[in-house]
C-alpha cells in the first residue's frame, strides 16, 4: 500500500491535484475507516493505532495522510462520544465501508483566523421552513475537492444566536472553491478556501449547537490527545527525509575521498543527532498515545500538547540538518529531500500553534 502511494506522491506534489487514487488505495487497505467505533461495525482503532497509521502514510505522502487524518479524527470523536444524528451517521458509516468517504471541519475564516485563538464565526446559519441555509467563507479546508461532508462552524440568525457545527453534504448546490491552495508544502492536500452561498440542509443536520458566548469557543485542551496522531504524521515526513539522507550518505563517494561520505565523522555525527531527535519525539508521541488508550488519568492534556510541540520542533530540525549537510543536492527540485523539507514546514502551522499550546502548558505549570 505505501509503495503504491509513494510512487504517486511526486506527481501529485508537482501538479497539486487532488490525490484521489492514493486515497482509494488507503481506503482499500481499511485505513480510512480504522477509527469507526466497534458499536458501528468498525475496528475501533484508538489514539496509538491512529498515530501509527498516519506516521506510515506520512512517510510516503503527507498530503494523503492529512486528508485521511481529518476523516479518522471525525470517526474517533464519534466513537468516544456520539454526537451525530444516529440515522445520518449510520448512513455515513455504511457508505464509508463501500468507498472512500471523506469528512472534514470548515472552521477557519478570513476575518476570524483560527478559532484556536478565540472568537466566533461570521458564517451565518439562517432558519428556513425546512431547515437551515448557510452562507459564509471558510479557509484552508483540507481535502475540499473530495469531501463528502463539510462540518461547517456557524452562528445562527435566531433572536438569541447560537453557535454549532452544521453537516453539509459535499455535493450541495451553493458550495464553491473561491481560493486555490498554492502553498510551499503539502501541495496535494487541496486545502482550498470555500464559500457557501445559501446552502440548504435539513434542520437536524447540526451538532454541538449551544449559546452564543465564550463557551462556544474552541477549547484547546479538550481533545488534546487527538493532536498526537497529527504529530506522528509529520514525524513520518522526517523519517522519510532521514531515509534519503542515509541513502545519499552511502552512495555519495567524492573523488578526493575514495569512500562513501557515510564513513566520515561529519555525516555520522549528524546522523546521530537526527536519530536522537526523531527517536525521542516518537517516544513522546507513541508513548503518550498508549497512555491515553490505557486510560491513564495522570496523562494530562498539557502533556499531549507538549508532546506535539516537541515533535514538531524535532521533526523540522531533523530535516533541516539533513538539508544543510547535503547542500545544493538537498534543495534540488525533484529530489525527495527537497519535498520533505517543504512538507515539514507545515507541521507547526496546525492549530493550536506553538504559542497557544505553550500558554496552556505554562498556565497549568504556574497554577497546578
Q: With cut-offs at 50, 70 and 90, classify the pLDDT of residue 219.
A: low
**pLDDT tens-digit profile of 293-302?**
999 999 999 9
Q: How many CA atoms lie within 13 A of 38 on its CB side?
A: 3
Cβ proximity of 157 and 188 under 8 Å: no
Q: Residue 3: phi, psi to the nearest 5? A: -65, -40
Radius of gyration of the chain (CA): 21
pLDDT value of residue 211: 86
Q: Residue 227: phi, psi to the nearest 5? A: -80, -15
Measured at the CA of 248, the angle between CA 247 and CA 254, to 5 degrees, comes to 135
Q: With cut-offs at 50, 70 and 90, classify the pLDDT of residue 226.
A: confident
pLDDT value of residue 225: 86
pLDDT value of residue 215: 44
- Helix/strand number for the chain, H first, E second: 10, 8
Query: For residue 339, with 0-12 CB atoms within 10 Å meaning exposed, 13-18 middle and 19 or more buried, which class applies?
Result: buried
pLDDT value of residue 213: 60
Alpha-carbon dihedral angle through residues 224, 240, 140, 286, given to the nearest 10 degrees: -10
Name the strand (E) or helix (H) holding 55: helix 47-60
**How many other C-beta atoms can be found within 10 angstroms of the C-beta atom of residue 124?**
16
Kindly tell me if the per-residue pLDDT of 113 is higher than 90: no
**pLDDT tens-digit profile of 135-168?**
999 999 999 999 999 999 999 999 999 999 999 9
User: What average pLDDT score do residues 59-84 get?
Assistant: 97
Phi/psi region, residue 31 (left: phi>0; alpha: psi -120 to 50; beta: rest), is: alpha
CA–CA gap between residue 281 and residue 315 (Å, rounded): 8
pLDDT value of residue 217: 52
Kindly tell me if the per-residue pLDDT of 182 is higher than 90: yes
CA–CA gap between residue 182 and residue 193 (Å, rounded): 11
Alpha-carbon distance values, 127 to 133, 136, 157, 174 (Å): 6, 15, 7, 16
Kindly tell me if the per-residue pLDDT of 285 is higher than 70: yes
Beta strands in 49-157 (DSSP E): 103-106, 124-127, 131-141, 149-156
Q: With cut-offs at 50, 70 and 90, classify the pLDDT of residue 170.
A: very high
Per mean pLDDT, which range of 115-129, 145-159, 164-178 is the poorest? 115-129
Measured at the CA of 266, the angle between CA 260 and CA 270, to 5 degrees, comes to 105
Alpha-carbon distance values, 348 to 93, 108, 111, 122, 258 (Å): 32, 16, 21, 26, 41
User: What average pLDDT score do residues 131-138 get?
Assistant: 98
Kindly tell me if the per-residue pLDDT of 73 is higher than 70: yes
Per mean pLDDT, which range of 216-220, 224-228, 282-286, 309-313 is the poorest? 216-220
Place of cell 516518537: 282
Question: CA 358, 362, 222, 217 torsion: positive or negative?
Answer: negative
Q: With cut-offs at 50, 70 and 90, classify the pLDDT of residue 222.
A: low
Kindly tell me if the per-residue pLDDT of 212 is higher than 60: yes
Amino acid at each position: 500500500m505505501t509503495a503504491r502511494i509513494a510512487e504517486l506522491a511526486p506527481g501529485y506534489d508537482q501538479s497539486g491535484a487532488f490525490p484521489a487514487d492514493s486515497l482509494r488505495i488507503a481506503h482499500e487497505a481499511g485505513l480510512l475507516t480504522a477509527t469507526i467505533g466497534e458499536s458501528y461495525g468498525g475496528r475501533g482503532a484508538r489514539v496509538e493505532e491512529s498515530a501509527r497509521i498516519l506516521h506510515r502514510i506520512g512517510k510516503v505522502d503527507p498530503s494523503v495522510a492529512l486528508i485521511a487524518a481529518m476523516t479518522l479524527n471525525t470517526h474517533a470523536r464519534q466513537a468516544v462520544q456520539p454526537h451525530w444524528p444516529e440515522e445520518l451517521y449510520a448512513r455515513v458509516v455504511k457508505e464509508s465501508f463501500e468507498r472512500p468517504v471523506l469528512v472534514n471541519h470548515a472552521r477557519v475564516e478570513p476575518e476570524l483566523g483560527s478559532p484556536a485563538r478565540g472568537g466566533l464565526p461570521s458564517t451565518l446559519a439562517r432558519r428556513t421552513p425546512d431547515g437551515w441555509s448557510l452562507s459564509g467563507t471558510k479557509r484552508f479546508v483540507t481535502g475540499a475537492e473530495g469531501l463528502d461532508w463539510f462540518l461547517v462552524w456557524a452562528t445562527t440568525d435566531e433572536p438569541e444566536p447560537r453557535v454549532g457545527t452544521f453537516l453539509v453534504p459535499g455535493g450541495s448546490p451553493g458550495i464553491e472553491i473561491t481560493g486555490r491552495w498554492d502553498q510551499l508544502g503539502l501541495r496535494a492536500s487541496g486545502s482550498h478556501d470555500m464559500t457557501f452561498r445559501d446552502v440548504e440542509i435539513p434542520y437536524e443536520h447540526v451538532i454541538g449547537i449551544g449559546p452564543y458566548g465564550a463557551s462556544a469557543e474552541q477549547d484547546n485542551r479538550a481533545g488534546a490527545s487527538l493532536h498526537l496522531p497529527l504529530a506522528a504524521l509529520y514525524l513520518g515526513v522526517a523519517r522519510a527525509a532521514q531515509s534519503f539522507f542515509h541513502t545519499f550518505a552511502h552512495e555519495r563517494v567524492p573523488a578526493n575521498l575514495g569512500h562513501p561520505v557515510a564513513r566520515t565523522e561529519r555525516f555520522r555525527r549528524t546522523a546521530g543527532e537526527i536519530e536522537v531527535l526523531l527517536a525521542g519525539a516518537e517516544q513522546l508521541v507513541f508513548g503518550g498515545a498508549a497512555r491515553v488508550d490505557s486510560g491513564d488519568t495522570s496523562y494530562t492534556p498539557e502533556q499531549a500538547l507538549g508532546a506535539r510541540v516537541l515533535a514538531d520542533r524535532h521533526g523540522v530540525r531533523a530535516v533541516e540538518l539533513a538539508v544543510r549537510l547535503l547542500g545544493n543536492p538537498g534543495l534540488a527540485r525533484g529530489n525527495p529531500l527537497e519535498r520533505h523539507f517543504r512538507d515539514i514546514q507545515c507541521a507547526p502551522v496546525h492549530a493550536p500553534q506553538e504559542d497557544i499550546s505553550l500558554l496552556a502548558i505554562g498556565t497549568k505549570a504556574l497554577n497546578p
